[in-house]
Structure formats: structure tokens, C-alpha cells
Amino acid sequence: MNAHALKTSLDCNPWDEEIARNTQLFFEADRLDNLAYTIIGGQDGPDAVWERYRQAKKAADAKRTEAYQDWMRIRRAMQQSPHAS
């Protein structure tokens, strides 16, 4: 295999795009989690603050669950792929 063919085969990893998309799901979960914690420092009344926090934290947790489930799907598919190492 010449250097060009090797570079082309390395550049075309079929999982790169899915892994990048999955990474974005985890980043979004982190962003939502951070948003939830900034709500606690808000100036609203205690009940309103905690309700806003609970809703934001629920969204973050749901996004993290989505990201984890997607990652497990990718891992299973990679293990079943003929390209798996």
C-alpha cells in the first residue's frame, strides 16, 4: 500500500462523523448542566429558582442519557463492523 492509499484509508474512517456527532451530544449535555447550576445563583425567589434548576437539570440529564445511548449504539456497530480492529 503506497503512502497516498494509506493516508486516504486513514482519512475515511467510517466512524469519525458519528463519533463527532456523539461528542457534540455530550458537549450539549455539559452546557445544559452548567446552565442548570447558574440558575441556582439567580435572584428569583427560592421556589422559582429551584423549579428552574430542576427543569434545566432534567434537560441536561436527558441529553446526557441520549448521548450515552448513542455512544453505546456506535460501539456496538463498530464491534460488528468488518472494519473493527
Within a domain: 36: yes
**Domain contains 71:** yes
| 15 inside domain | no
Instruction: Find, among 57, 27, 24, the residue nearest to 40 by Cα.
Output: 57
Examine residue 14 and state whether it is found in any structural domain, yes or no: no
> Could you tell me if residue 7 is inside a domain?
no
Question: How much is the pLDDT for 14?
Answer: 81
pLDDT confidence of residue 66: 97
What does the pLDDT average to over 57-82?
Answer: 94
Distant-in-sequence, close-in-space partners of 19: CB < 8 Å, separation ≥ 6: 74
Number of domains in the chain: 1
- Checking if the pLDDT of 10 tops 60, the result is no
Query: Quick one: what percent of the chain has pLDDT higher than 70?
Result: 78
Whether 50 contacts 77, CB under 8 Å: no
Q: How confident is the model at residue 40 (pLDDT cuts 50, 70, 90)?
A: confident
Please, what is the Cα angle at 79 between 75 and 82, to 5 degrees?
Answer: 135
- 33 falls within a domain: yes
Kindly state whether residue 1 falls inside one of the protein's structural domains.
no
Determine the structural domain holding residue 51 and report its residue range. 21-80
The residue type of 56 is: A
According to the model, what pLDDT value does residue 6 have? 45
